[in-house]
Chains A and B, each alone.
Chain A
Amino acid sequence: MSAPLLEIEDLSVTFNERMAAVRNASFRIGRGETHCVVGESGCGKSVSALAVMNLLVSAAKRTAKRLSFAGEDLLAMPEKRMAQLRGNRMAMIFQEPMTSLNPAYTIGSQLTESYRRHKRASQRDATARAVKLMGRVGITAPEMRLGQFPHQLSGGLRQRVMIAMALMCEPELLIADEPTTALDVTVQAQILRLLNELKDEFGLSILLITHDLGVVARVADSVSVMYAGEVVEHTTARQLFADPQHPYTRGLLSCIPVPGKSQRDKPLGSIPGVVPQVSVGFSGCAFRSRCAFADADCAGTINTQTATADHNYLCRLTPTRQKELARA
């Protein structure tokens, strides 16, 4: 296997030196791979993406053992060089395209701006490329859309514009933060299909951040499950759904109703309590207050365990031990 495109090792982000938003998160994304980071709100999934892009607010502090993109060290990289990477070789799309599109400029000028800046292309070349890409992402009548403003488009179209904009400079990595959460289900399927096609066509690597395990199942190659700032389980998508190891992952999977599978009159599985906010210096398993199997030792250091070659999880207990405890 060739070297991964993005490597993150022991990434931590703290806010105001008090709140630990991300704690020692590690994952890597290979070229042409879709990696999903899944978790509930406040688990640190968006913050880790922003940390990769170096777009954190000034109150946040980022540390990592290793943070490299295509062999380049992002930690030591000066902001000027980083700005050249962003929007060029790394692009990002967000949940609500309305907030990331400037309402005062036309679609056309926003689409072509970064291409002209990064690639030093003429307006004509940039427009030609914009029209081509808009057609590619399924926007009808692209020439007409160029002159329109963001508010004149529907949510699905705006997200397509965002994708086209992200693709303008032929990025190698596309970071998508909940790209379909604000969209209707039918549109969600269309957008995800589009992302998948584009991945193959352009050889993109995608870092997809989502809370929806259904989305993870259908698009991910590999998955990181995050909880309270930590990656609690890291494996391939197939492995995660076939054989989840961490009690949190299992809990999450039992929470979602599945048509035709979950019993109508039976309650859904649920995880009691709420996600804790973890302060700097917290130790032990953050899930222990909600975990049915937790005991006093869970407050100690938890080591990563390996289930199979590409399946790690952060829990003291093996699944067999969990089953024994559940029976007892």
Chain B
Amino acid sequence: MNSPAAIEVRDVRQEFRVSGGMFAAARHVVAVDGVSFSVPAGRVLGIVGESGCGKSTLARLILGLLAPTSGDALVYGQRLAALDRKARARLIQPVFQDPFSSLNPRQTIQEIVSLPLVAQGSFEAPEITRLTNEILDRVGIARAMATRLPAELSGGQRQRVAIARALIIKPKVVVCDEPTSALDVSVQAQILNLLAELRREFNLTYIFISHNLAVIEHVASTVAVMYLGRIVEMNETDVLFRSPRHPYTRALLDSVLTPEPDLGIPDVGLGDAVPDPSRIPAGCRFHPRCRMAVERCQREPPKPDLAAPDEMVECHLANQDNPFQLVGGQYAQG
């Protein structure tokens, strides 16, 4: 390929050693288990999944906060592990979920936002002040706030500050890990709109992680569905929402509660088995909760079926000539 993808993740695996104490044997938890995808520049990859599916671990891998046990995460063709901290900061920046823990409570807004520039060590003080003021204006934080502490700001304002910090250094990729989950509905809309504007303005590539499918549908151009450490389905947003191929995707879509009073509460039919990353089932990892599971699913893990670079599904039943008939859901009719 001539132009490298903005983000390329190749067969990444992340194991955590859960120590049982000084003399007990350690357990291994596989949080991310062989994930591959690539995101072209200027696109938004949405990653959805339930808690414990490994989506936040994946975000930390892409950010270079964790070194993968195996596999590679590349940003603009460069291995993050090989980059020094300053070069990495110029490429990729995060926006985290909880605006109450993502800002240092002992620093002023000015100090927080300017940190990426200060850390570079190559900017003069007046330059830093100018750029800080510029970005604060852009995200809608009054300059008078710059000398305040985070505790004096509301949740939405804090998230704006976090966005300003991420963008002040003009990165190419921004990883948004549940950026609106901790916010109220009206504030969530403000932040989503701001993120969309900034993406166009700064020509950014986003990885957007959320458990809220409605939000993902609104922001993402491609969606990857994660289950217990693996991507089980990935496709263009429209296609994925219109015709999901994996039973788990279908269940997730069914469980979205849109504000339509006549639809009642959906029956997602997932049973109450709880996915546990330290005890991943043999065969297809989704089979204990799958209402379509057949005998083969218990024994043999399905292989990813790649129709196109960003169209993938991992299910025995989706590969057959005669695919299973899913019960009509709320998006099936388009």
Q: Touch between A and B in complex, CB under 8 Å?
A: yes
Interface residues of A (CB under 8 A from B): 40-41, 138-140, 154-157, 184-190, 192-193, 196, 211-220, 237-238, 240-242, 251-262, 264, 267-272, 274-275
From A41, which residue of chain B is reached at the shortest CB distance? B184
Nearest CB on A from B310, distance (A): 17
B258 and A241 form a contact (CB under 8 A): no
Q: Which of B187, B214, B268, B334 contacts A189 (CB 8 A)?
A: B268
A218 and B261 form a contact (CB under 8 A): yes
The residues of A that contact B197 with a CB separation of less than 8 Å are 267
The residues of A that contact B213 with a CB separation of less than 8 Å are 185, 259
The residues of A that contact B214 with a CB separation of less than 8 Å are 214, 256-259
Could you show 15 A-B contacts with beta carbons less than 8 Å apart?
A40-B187, A157-B274, A185-B213, A213-B185, A219-B265, A241-B261, A255-B189, A256-B185, A256-B214, A257-B192, A258-B258, A259-B214, A262-B218, A269-B189, A272-B190
A185 and B218 form a contact (CB under 8 A): no
Q: Within B226-264, which residues are at the interface with A (CB < 8 Å)?
A: 237, 241, 251-264
Q: Given contacts A40-B185, A262-B218, are A237 and B261 in contact (CB under 8 A)? A: yes
Binary per-residue interface labels of chain B (169-193) against chain A in the complex, 1 for a CB within 8 Å, 0 otherwise = 0000000000000001111111011
Binary per-residue interface labels of chain B (203-233) against chain A in the complex, 1 for a CB within 8 Å, 0 otherwise = 0000000011111011100000000000000
What's the interface size class on B, roughly?
35 or more
A268 and B263 form a contact (CB under 8 A): no
**In the complex, A132 Cα to B258 Cα: how many Å?**
33
Q: Does B152 sit within 8 A of A, measured CB to CB?
A: no
The residues of B that contact A274 with a CB separation of less than 8 Å are 154, 156-157, 187
- Chain B at the A interface: mostly helix, strand, loop or mixed? helix
**In the complex, A162 Cα to B263 Cα: how many Å?**
27
A270 and B189 form a contact (CB under 8 A): yes
**In the complex, A187 Cα to B187 Cα: how many Å?**
25
The residues of A that contact B157 with a CB separation of less than 8 Å are 274
B258 and A261 form a contact (CB under 8 A): yes
B255 and A185 form a contact (CB under 8 A): yes
Q: Which of A184, A242, A271 contacts B186 (CB 8 A)?
A: A271
Q: Within B155-170, which residues are at the interface with A (CB < 8 Å)?
A: 156-157
Nearest CB on B from A102, distance (A): 22
The residues of A that contact B219 with a CB separation of less than 8 Å are 264
B156 and A218 form a contact (CB under 8 A): no
From A269, which residue of chain B is reached at the shortest CB distance? B189
**In the complex, A118 Cα to B317 Cα: how many Å?**
53
**In the complex, A259 Cα to B331 Cα: how many Å?**
8
B192 and A184 form a contact (CB under 8 A): no
The residues of B that contact A242 with a CB separation of less than 8 Å are 261
Nearest CB on A from B70, distance (A): 28
A189 and B266 form a contact (CB under 8 A): yes
From B221, which residue of chain A is reached at the shortest CB distance? A264
